[in-house]
Amino acid sequence: MNPVTKTVLQRLGLGLITLFIVSIIIFSAVAMLPGDFAKATLGQSATPETVAALQHEIGLDRPPVERYFSWIGKMAKGDFGSSFASRTGYRRTVAEIIAPRLYNTMFLAVMTALIAVPLALGLGIVAALYRNSWFDRVINTVTLTTISFPEFFVAYMLAFLIISRDTFAGTEFAQSLPAWLAISINWTLNLVPKFPTLANINDETPFWDHVWRAALPSITLTLVIVAHMMRMTRAAILNMLSSPYIDMARLKGMGPMVVVLRHALPNAWAPIVTVVAFNLAYLIVGVVIVEVVFVYPGVGQLMVDAVRSRDVPVVQACALVFAAAYILLNLIADIISIATNPRLLHPR
C-alpha cells in the first residue's frame, strides 16, 4: 500500500476514535453545566409538574447514557436535532441555526489565513536570511510581545485605538499634554483606519462590506497567530541552512534568496506546515473570545449564547463541529508533512 494512503487511513481511524472520545467529553461537560433549560424557560414560578412535563417533552428526563447514544446516533446520520429554544411555534433545527454562523466563522478564518500565512512565511524567510540583524531582532521582539498578550486584550486595545481616533483631540488628557506631543499622537491615530468595532453582519451583507466589517477581528487573530508561524519558519530554515547541500548550492554561486526558496524551504515544509495547520485549527476553534468581543455572528458567539440560554443541542453541536475541524486540520497537516518529507515518505 502507498505510504501516503496507509497514513491517511491510519490517521483517519485515529481521528474517528478521537472524535468519539471528545463527543463523550462534550456530552458529559454539557450535562454538568449548572442550570436547567426547562427551569430557566418556565421561570421560578413554574410548578414542578410543568417543569417535569417540559423536561419529558425535550428528553431531559431520560438517563444520560440513553440520551448520549441517541444524540451520537443521530449525529452519525447528520441529524443535529432541534433547538430547545424553538420548541414553540416553528421548530428550527440545529443545522439550520449553525449553517450561517459556520459560514461567518469560516469566512473570518479564511480571511485571516490569507493575511497571516503569507505574512508569517515572508517575515520568517527574511528573518532567517538576515539572522541577528536589527530586522531580525525587531521582528522577534514584536512577535514575542503580541504572542504574550491574550486575545481579548489585543482585541480591546485595537478597539480602543479605533475609538480614540476621533475622540483623543477633545479629551482633557490631550489638552494637558504639550502641543507638539498631542499633535503627534493625534496625527498617528488618524493613520489608523476607522474599522467598525462591532461586526454588524447578516445574510444580506455584501461581500466587500463583510470584509470591511470583519477586518478588526481578522487583524486581532493575525497578530495572535502570526508569531508561531513566523518563528517556526525562521527556525526551520536556519536549521536547513546549516546542511551540507546548502553549502554546495552556495558554492555554485546561487543567491541567498534562491538558496532559501529552492533548496531550504522545500525541505523545511514538514515542521512549518504542522505549525500552520495548528494555527489554522485555532482560527476555527479558538475564535470564541474574538467573536464575543466584536459581536461577530459566528459559531463561537452562537455557542456562548446557547450556553447562556441552556440550549443543550446547539452547545453540543457547536463543540463537536469545533472538535471535528481541529481533528481534520491536524490530519491534513500530518498528510502534508509526510508527502513533503522523503524521510517520512520512505521510512527504513
pLDDT digits (tens, 9 = 90+) for 10-42: 878 888 888 889 888 888 887 777 666 666 666
The count of residues in the chain is: 348
Higher pLDDT, 50 or 318: 318
pLDDT of residue 165 exceeding 80: no
Which position has the grid cell 532567517? 128
Residues 173-209 have pLDDT tens digits of 555 656 655 566 665 666 667 777 777 887 788 888 8
Q: State yes or no: pLDDT of 295 exceeds 80.
A: yes
Position 89 confidence tier, pLDDT thresholds 50, 70, 90: low
**Which domains, from first to last, does the chain contain?**
102-343 (1.10.3720.10)
C-alpha of 4 from chain center: 27
- Specify the higher pLDDT residue, 89 or 130: 130
Query: Mean pLDDT over all residues of the chain?
Result: 78
Q: In the prediction, which pLDDT does 316 show?
A: 86
Burial 292-325 (b: 16+ CB within 10 A, else e): bbbebbbbbbbbbbbbebbbbbbbbbbbbbbbbb
- Torsion angle of C-alpha atoms 86, 92, 93, 94, degrees rounded to 10: -60
Judged on CB neighbours under 10 Å (0-12, 13-18, 19+), 12 is middle
pLDDT of residue 45: 65
The stretch 282-306 carries a mean pLDDT of 83
Task: Identify the CA nearest to 87 among candidates 42, 27, 34.
Answer: 42
* C-alpha span between 225 and 230 (Å, rounded): 9
Instruction: State pLDDT tens for residues 111-163.
Output: 888 998 899 888 888 888 888 888 888 888 888 888 888 888 888 888 877 77
Single pTM value for the model: 0.80
